[in-house]
């Protein structure tokens, strides 16, 4: 029998091959003399969301990423770096 999914069930996401470069993001803010709060007020993005992006607990959505690179005057892939490979799986014996 075929499994039925509800319309609200999202498909499994594959791991991202490139992730947001939070270290460069923070360096760029420091170079411009901006705090996360200043950048939040400048862009209209929430402080808490930007803080989570800056510390690495959240990846920006494509829309938020475009706002960030536009305000920092960067190219499209400027703040994307290769994702760390997944740690090797330990097989249960």
Supply the pLDDT for residue 63: 95
Name the pTM for this structure: 0.73
**Torsion 19-24-30-34 (CA) sign:** negative
Which one, of 64, 63, 77, lies nearest residue 19 by Cα? 77
- Model pLDDT for residues 10-36, shown as the tens digit of each residue: 556 666 788 999 999 999 999 999 999
Confidence category of residue 84, pLDDT binned at 50, 70, 90:
confident
pLDDT at 43 over 80: yes
């Amino acid at each position: 029998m075929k499994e039925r999914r509800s319309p609200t069930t999202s498909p499994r996401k594959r791991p991202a091959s490139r992730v947001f470069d939070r270290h460069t993001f923070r360096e760029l803010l420091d170079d411009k003399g901006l705090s996360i709060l200043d950048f939040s007020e400048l862009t209209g993005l929430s402080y808490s969301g930007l803080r989570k992006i800056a510390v690495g607990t959240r990846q920006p959505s494509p829309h938020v990423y475009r706002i960030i690179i536009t305000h920092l005057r960067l190219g499209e892939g400027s703040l994307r770096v290769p994702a760390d490979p997944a740690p090797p799986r330990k097989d249960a014996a």
